[in-house]
Amino acid sequence: MASSNHPGEQIVTARAEGARVSTNTETVQRYLDGFRTGDHERILSCLTDDIEWTVVGAFHLVGKQAYDQAIDGGPEFDGPPELEVVRMVEQDDVVMAELTGAARRVDGTVMLMSMAEVFVMRDGLIAERRAWVVDVSEGNAPPSR
């Protein structure tokens, strides 16, 4: 983890062996590990009771029960997604992550994703998650420049 010139900001570049990360970053990493394995209990243990989850342009929900019902995605998806953290940064009570991912659909196709995630933390738990998810599967990728 490197520091920056901004007070309260930490930049997480990699999980170096023995590197110390903040409680907030550990919570987000544990949460993402839960998503990778489809472990509802692990995911929910990282959230406040009044969690808000917004996927911009898709949905907004409030509360653990609603969150739990949305974890697996829609009926078109088969199993948990593959997620890879490109980078993660933290400032005060906000952790931001850039991710890439793949989600298998029941029809056998795969949705490739590029994501930006904002996690607003409270007392070491995720109180709000805002996600921007872009489908970059073949035919859906933005034009190259």
Q: What is the pLDDT of residue 12?
A: 45
Q: Is residue 44 part of a domain?
A: yes
For 105-126, letters b (16+ CB in 10 Å) and e give beeeeebbbbbebebbbeeebb
Q: Tell whether the model's pLDDT for residue 14 goes beyond 60.
A: no
Q: What is the pLDDT of residue 17?
A: 56
Q: Is residue 82 part of a domain?
A: yes
3 or 142, which is more confident?
142
Q: What is the pLDDT of residue 72?
A: 86
125 or 5, which is more confident?
125
Domain of residue 6, CATH code: 3.10.450.50
Q: Is residue 110 part of a domain?
A: yes
Q: What is the pLDDT of residue 6?
A: 43
- Nearest 5°: the CA angle 133, 137, 141 is 80
Q: Rounded to whole angstroms, how far apart are CA atoms 41 and 49? A: 13
Two structure tokens written together for 127 = 């109180």
Q: Is residue 79 part of a domain?
A: yes
Q: What is the pLDDT of residue 3?
A: 43
Q: Is residue 15 part of a domain?
A: yes
Q: Is residue 19 part of a domain?
A: yes
Two structure tokens written together for 64 = 């653990």
**44-102: per-residue pLDDT in tens?**
999 999 999 999 999 999 999 999 999 988 888 898 999 999 999 999 999 999 999 99
pTM of full prediction above 0.85: no
**Average pLDDT along the chain:** 87
Q: Tell whether the model's pLDDT for residue 109 goes beyond 80.
A: yes
Q: Is residue 145 part of a domain?
A: no
Q: Is residue 25 part of a domain?
A: yes
At residue 28, what is the residue type? V
Q: What is the pLDDT of residue 104?
A: 93
In terms of residue numbers, what domain contains 90?
2-135
Whole-angstrom CA distances from 63 to 47, 54, 66 are 9, 12, 6
Q: How many domains does the chain have?
A: 1
